[in-house]
Chains A and B, each alone.
Chain A
Amino acid sequence: MKIIREFEERLHVEIATGEIPGFTHLYAGQEAVAVGVCTALTDSDYIVSTHRGHGHCIAKGCDVGAMMKEIYGRRDGLCKGKGGSMHIADFDKGMLGANAIVGAGPPLAVGAAIACKLRGDGSVSVAFGGDGSCNQGTVFEAMNLAVVLQAPTLFVFENNGYSEHTGASYAVGSKDITARSRGFGMPAERVDGSDFFAVYEAMLRAVARARAGGGPSAIEATTTRFYGHFEGDPQRYRAKDEVAQQRQTMDCLKRFRESGALSPAELDGIDAEVLGLIDECVAAAKAAPLPPLSELTTDVYVSY
């Protein structure tokens, strides 16, 4: 969780310098969801991610240095600099890709779950999405198909309160993603997304059910994002003190520290180590070579 937090906080600073190209959506504030979910998975389980995907990548074990290089558009980035912040993938880790199309991921996750079911090794597949994506038809179709096929798919809805610049209380008509998920015929529960243990335990229940052939489940994690929809979003839709308050009351790292699971000294040690790691990643990314022009037309097809 600390790696994700520092990765994102540091990106927030570096993006302001203008050195990072494109469009970046930060995950800070939601760390307990990605980590609570992925801690219950192994490398043979799959996840599909979203435009706000850095946290999912890190939690699933993607190389943080190669991710940073990708975000800087460098040759040695995780996707050779061709994908960028919204398209990080690492198939060796079961990370089937971040996605810039809202709602595109859940059908892919159902497909991965079909593969898991056919392999019969108890693997599962997770579709991350937000409160925004839960209103896409593709998501409805994927949820129904997963129930029809009893495919081991876990739909994780990170309800951070906003679909881009519009509030979930407006855009989610039923105002209840958990109940809506149950309507598809799958078990669903709502958890406090700033509590790592709550997410992890809900996930253990859902994963155990899926691995045992019990089919799909949904988890709605209530959470918040500490930054805008994208970096540079003035967030005029948010009350001025909202984020400051949420950093006090909904900070999953603070909550974890208060849980006493690790001693303050242990946590301080981790924090120092993570700061060093992120410094190294940023320095390495800035110094890394750009992709050569010969890469422009490679990787379009397997065969040429």
Chain B
Amino acid sequence: MAQLSMRDAVNQALHQEMARDSRVIVLGEDVSGGAGGTSGEREASGGIFGVTKGLLPRFGAGRVIDTPISESAIVGAAAGAALAGLRPVAELMFADFVGVCMDQLYNQIAKFRYMFGGKSSCPVVIRTAMGAGMNMGAQHSQTIYALLTAIPGLKIVVPSNAHDAKGLMIQAIRDDDPVVFFEHKALYPRKAEVPEAPYTIAFGEANLVREGEAATVVALGRMVTFAEKALDGLAKDGIYCDLIDPRTTSPLDEETILESVENTGRLVVVDESPPRCSVAADIAALVASRGFASLRAPVGLVTAPHAPIPFSPALERAWVPGPQAIEAAIRKVVSQ
């Protein structure tokens, strides 16, 4: 089986779905790049992170649409095209730019089906790059998925590896609901075994990454790889934990988390976001309200601090929850 980076896995999913279904279009800033340039090279970038490479030469400018820098229009136009029968995949270059087009996500896309009495569906996918760790500063590093998870009507996908990213992206495109798909920038080059043939991964089905009795660790996105590192350290001392990657925060696979906590009696949630109203807090609340009898220790939360993301690497390293902090949190919960 081929080893693909997460970048190439998402790219392969886009290629396969565009080939399978002529209703699938891609639009966003520099998704091909080069329009209006002086070199005449029409695909000058293939997306700022290279995720949309090769789509323009293969599917043409009618279906692979470079846009001006106009995030409200990109997301709104994708939604309108979805209402009119297409299956658009819109790219927001950075997840932080959600701020520019929030109305289209929050008041428009998320609400259509419900407020129109179930008459409409809006099968749009918003792909976006998120995450800290590359010294990109306060406005190019945020995760933001908690903000959108809170909105009924949106499905939120946060893949942690190339294999899941491909299956989840194909599911997102085929899904009849609007999906926001968060790709962590630091995961783009990371490789995993990815089958060539198209496949889907259902939303709301967590992945049990590791198994163990000592505690339940829930982690998302890049934090899954950091949690695995932490668990490698703990394994040397004979401490083994369930590691659950929910893969989607809406819908959330509540049962897998609750069943695991029933076995382990202990929960640690890892989330690359500030703690207030976070996915970590949401999962802690889930277990407190529906799994309280199973808990034998207070829930451990490993999050970023309640602060924006600093630029200086000296500070940013401390902002991002790392393997050491995760390991320490698990040891604390296990010792109680």
Contact = CB atoms under 8 A, between A and B. Distances in A.
A21 B35 contact: no
Contacts of A23: 134-137, 140
Interface string B122-139: 000000000000111111
A297 B66 contact: no
A132 B69 contact: yes
B51 to A, nearest CB: 14
Interface string A76-110: 01000111111100000000000111111000000
A65 to B, nearest CB: 17
A162 B69 CA distance: 11
Contacts of A242: 38-39
A264 B25 CA distance: 57
Contacts of A136: 69-71, 100
A101 B319 CA distance: 22
Most chain A CB atoms below 10 A, which of B35, B41, B72, B311 = B311
Interface string A5-26: 0000000000000000111000
A236 interface: yes
B102 interface: no
Contact of A165 (B33, B99, B307, B319): B33
B305 interface: yes
A22 B136 contact: yes
Contacts of B45: 165, 236-237
Interface in B290-320: 305-308, 310-315, 318-319
Contacts of A135: 68-70
A237 B68 CA distance: 15
Contacts of B38: 167, 237-239, 242
Contact of B36 (A74, A85, A170): A170
Contacts of A164: 29-30, 33, 48, 69
B81 interface: no
B138 A167 contact: no
Given A81-B310, A81-B312, A236-B39, A102 B137 contact: no
Given A100-B139, A236-B44, A73 B312 contact: yes
Nearest to B41: A236
A244 to B, nearest CB: 12
B97 interface: yes
Given A170-B36, A297-B305, A82 B29 contact: no
Given A167-B38, A237-B33, A300-B306, A101 B139 contact: yes
B29 A166 contact: yes
Interface residues of B, number: 45
Nearest to A233: B45
Contacts of A104: 100
Interface in B109-159: 134-140
B137 A84 contact: yes
B72 A84 contact: no
Interface string A292-304: 0101110010000
A181 interface: no
B80 to A, nearest CB: 15
B238 interface: no
A285 B100 CA distance: 34
A237 B37 contact: yes
Interface string B322-334: 0000000000000
Nearest to B99: A101
Interface string B18-49: 00000000000110011111111100110010
B320 to A, nearest CB: 11
Contacts of A85: 137, 311
B135 A293 contact: no
A133 B97 CA distance: 13
B96 interface: yes
B100 A138 contact: yes
B288 interface: no
Given A101-B99, A101-B139, A166 B315 contact: no
Contacts of B96: 100-101
Contact of A237 (B41, B134, B313): B41
Interface in B80-113: 96-97, 99-100
A164 B35 CA distance: 11
Interface in B201-256: none
Contacts of B313: 21, 73
A281 interface: no
B44 to A, nearest CB: 4
A137 B100 CA distance: 9
Given A73-B313, A87-B137, A136-B100, 11 more contacts: A22-B137, A22-B311, A77-B312, A86-B137, A169-B36, A236-B37, A237-B44, A239-B40, A296-B305, A296-B307, A300-B308
Interface of B: 29-30, 33-41, 44-45, 48, 66-73, 96-97, 99-100, 134-140, 305-308, 310-315, 318-319
11 contacts: A73-B135, A73-B313, A73-B315, A86-B139, A87-B311, A99-B139, A167-B34, A167-B38, A242-B39, A296-B319, A297-B305
